[in-house]
Amino acid sequence: MDNVAYVSLGPPNRQIANAPEGSRPQHDIIIHMRDGTQKSTGSGWVILMEQGPERTTWYHLGGIRGKRQPVIYKLNLDNKGCWTKYVDQSMAHSLYEIHGR
């Protein structure tokens, strides 16, 4: 999965089950691979990127099903493009106020 070229927002979707009430529409999350293929996985309001010395780390702000709260997800490059919420969540609410509300 290290062959990710970039991650982008796709078209708006109708995902509301995981978003706080009154949120802006979420977008599909598109993973663009270096070989030109794409994978649509996840839903959210904004993509974040952290450039490291050896690899780029991708995040997106979405919601969490059941709790309907904003949450930051990290792209797990070692697990076939799955997103994990087991990252620092201290900025989730402030990012939501800017991008999701």
* Alpha helices per DSSP H over 1-101: 92-99
- The region, left, alpha or beta by phi > 0 then psi within -120 to 50, assigned to residue 88 is beta
> What pLDDT sits at residue 60?
96
Tokens of 45: 């309001």
User: pTM of this prediction?
Assistant: 0.90
What residues does each domain of the chain span? 4-99
Tokens of 41: 């996985």
User: What are the pLDDT digits (tens) for 58-94?
Assistant: 999 999 988 999 999 999 977 667 899 999 999 999 9
Q: Are 48 and 59 in contact (CB under 8 A)?
A: yes
How many Å apart are CA 97 and CA 57, to the nearest integer? 23
Q: Categorize the per-residue pLDDT at 99 as very low, low, confident or very high, splitting at 50, 70 and 90.
A: very high
User: What are the pLDDT digits (tens) for 2-25?
Assistant: 688 999 999 999 888 899 999 999
Q: Which residues of 11-40 are buried (b: 16+ CB within 10 A; e: fewer)?
A: eeeebeebbbeebeebbbbbbeeeeeeeee
For 95, list phi and psi in degrees, rounded to 5. -65, -40
